[in-house]
Every structure is written in C-alpha cells, then in structure tokens.
Amino acid sequence: MDAREFTEALLCLGRDDIESIADNIETHFATAEGEVFWWRAHLAIHEALKSQGTLRAAGTAAHQAADAVLRAATRAGLDLPSELVTRVAREAQEVVRGLVAGSSASPLMSYLLESWEPVMASDELS
C-alpha cells in the first residue's frame, strides 16, 4: 500500500473504524515503551524523508491524509472538533509520512500500522 492508496482508504472509514483506530492508538501510547517506540519511528521517518529530499512531498501527503480522516468522520456523523478524530488524523499523518519514506522506514512502519487494521483490511480486498 502506498501513500495515495492509504489516503483513499481513509475516506472509506466509518464511525466504528475511527473509534477502533483511536482505541488502538491509545493502547500504543499507554506505556512508556510504546511511546518511545513511536518516537523512534517518527525520528527514523523524518531522517529518511530528509535524506531523500522528500519532506515537502510527505508534508503534502500528511495534509491530505488528515483531511481524508476529517471528511470520513464528518460523513460518519462524528461531531467536530473531536479529540478522537484529531488523534486518528494526526496518526494518519505519521503513517502516510512513513509510506512516502518507503523502504527506509519499513522496519518501524509495522508498529505504526498495527493501529490501522480497518484501512489495511480494505487494501487486502482490492
């Protein structure tokens, strides 16, 4: 799955999907170990993007991913602003940045993608 496919899949999220993803993200941040691992992934992604000269492209993709989450949430009937939707949108930005970084970020991407079962399942169907 690439950044474009991920963002398109975000548009299809329903209320239950968004709530499930938010719960998964919260679980990852519930421990110090989980938070440290997230920061390691974030830094590795940033360094990969910087070395490839793709920070701007990743920023654009991140904006599109967050917008897709907000549109899906609105369609799903979630009231905005919402802490839950913000959490999902921000994490979507990080995931899509990792997808733009490509194989350089792969070792740590699996951790970030664990929260995104509804999106990854839609990829398996296509």
The 10 Å Cβ neighbour count of residue 43 is: 11
Each residue's pLDDT, cut to its tens digit, for the chain (126 residues) gives 899 999 999 999 999 999 999 999 999 889 999 899 889 999 999 999 999 999 999 999 999 999 999 999 999 999 999 999 999 999 999 999 999 998 877 777 888 888 888 787 765 433
DSSP letter assigned to residue 77: T
Predicted local distance difference test score (pLDDT) of residue 79: 93
Q: In the chain, where are the structural domains located?
A: 3-125
Check residue 122 and give its pLDDT: 62
CA–CA separation, 13 and 31 (whole Å): 27
Q: Give yes or no for a contact between 89 and 70, defined as CB atoms under 8 angstroms apart.
A: yes
pLDDT value at residue 123? 54
Per-residue confidence (pLDDT) for residue 104, from 0 to 100: 79
